[in-house]
Amino acid sequence: MNIIVCIKQVPNTTDVRIDPVTNTLIRDGVESVINPFDAYAIEEAVRLKERCGGKVTAVTMGPPQAETALKEAIGLGCDEAVLVSDRKFAGSDTWATSYTLACAIEKLEAYDVIICGKQASDGDTAQVGPGISTHLDIPQVTYVKKIVEINDKSARVERMTEEGYDVVEVPLPCLFTVVKEINTPRMPSLKGMMRAKSAKIAKWTAADLDADPAALGLDGSPTRVVKIFTPEARKGGEMISGSTDEVAKELVELLKGEVV
């Protein structure tokens, strides 16, 4: 089974700072790590390989330093890795990002399953996984919490919902985005770390992809970040106490005051 896992390198902080002028992330001075949700994607990809045989290829689009994330992925059990990196990709929104990743995936040998994290901890849109499957015209199942059965033709998975979970059957090739409930990621083994150290990471630029140049980077991005801001913290609520009748009466009076 050929499994592809898409990983993103993100700042290692929950305090994401935005440049107020350019509206882009401030990355200087912030350590980068594999997006926490992608650790579950890597683990599931490696478990799938252990279950069905085959290989796992990790793919990332990012700056040259994203190679570190790919080496880490190899240390965790991925077999091969591809860094898709070019200044031409700068300014990509989620549409252009998923198009570029889809073009890279098409360049790899035929795949059975693509696994993404549920969302990235910095951009947070959860759009890239579904975007890749749309560009590749393959089915997708999001929020997967368990791969129950899988063979070379189809898979049966559990997909998390707010009320519980759906059981979904899907033909392969397909794309899954996974939630953290799916597994417990392993630590890198000593052997894995040694392999990672000497691993050769393939590096592809825009010229290596069979991509429409007009669909890449800022030019290929139909959305623009107009403003990014942290919403003001809400003031604490007001507690009303008393019997149900008293509370209801006071609430009605308060609401009347609001609408006048």
Ligand X SMILES: Cc1cc2nc3c(=O)[nH]c(=O)nc-3n(C[C@H](O)[C@H](O)[C@H](O)COP(=O)(O)OP(=O)(O)OC[C@H]3O[C@@H](n4cnc5c(N)ncnc54)[C@H](O)[C@@H]3O)c2cc1C
Under the rule (CB under 6 A), what is the footprint of ligand X? 6-8, 24, 35, 37-38, 41, 59-62, 90-94, 97, 101, 116-117, 119-120, 122-129, 221, 223-225
Query: Whole-number minimum distance, CB 61 to ligand X, in Å?
Result: 4
Q: Please count the other Cβ atoms lying within 10 Å of the Cβ belonging to residue 85.
A: 19
Cβ–Cβ < 8 Å for 204, 82? yes
Cβ closest to ligand X, residue 32 vs residue 92: 92
Query: Whole-number minimum distance, CB 41 to ligand X, in Å?
Result: 6
Query: Whole-number minimum distance, CB 228 to ligand X, in Å?
Result: 10
Cβ closest to ligand X, residue 63 vs residue 188: 63
Query: Whole-number minimum distance, CB 104 to ligand X, in Å?
Result: 9
Q: Distance (Å, rounded) from C-alpha 30 to C-alpha 218?
A: 24
Cβ closest to ligand X, residue 13 vs residue 151: 13
Sign of CA dihedral 189, 194, 195, 200: positive
Sign of CA dihedral 2, 125, 84, 71: negative
Pairing of strands 32-34, 9-11: antiparallel
Cβ closest to ligand X, residue 90 vs residue 254: 90
Query: Whole-number minimum distance, CB 70 to ligand X, in Å?
Result: 10
Give the tokens for residue 51.
């279950």
The order of strands in the sheet holding 2-6 is: 165-171, 154-160, 140-150, 174-178, 113-117, 2-6, 55-61, 80-84, 202-204
**What angle do helix axes 128-136 and 94-107 make, rounded to 10 degrees?**
50
Query: Whole-number minimum distance, CB 38 to ligand X, in Å?
Result: 5
Cβ–Cβ < 8 Å for 222, 95? yes
Q: Among 157, 150, 154, 153, which residue's Cα sits nearest to residue 178?
A: 157
Query: Whole-number minimum distance, CB 214 to ligand X, in Å?
Result: 16
Cβ closest to ligand X, residue 123 vs residue 250: 123
Angle, CA 87 vertex, CA 85 and CA 89 arms, to 5°:
70
Cβ closest to ligand X, residue 25 vs residue 250: 25
Q: Distance (Å, rounded) from C-alpha 5 to C-alpha 74?
A: 11
Which residue is nearest to ligand X, using beta carbons?
A: 123
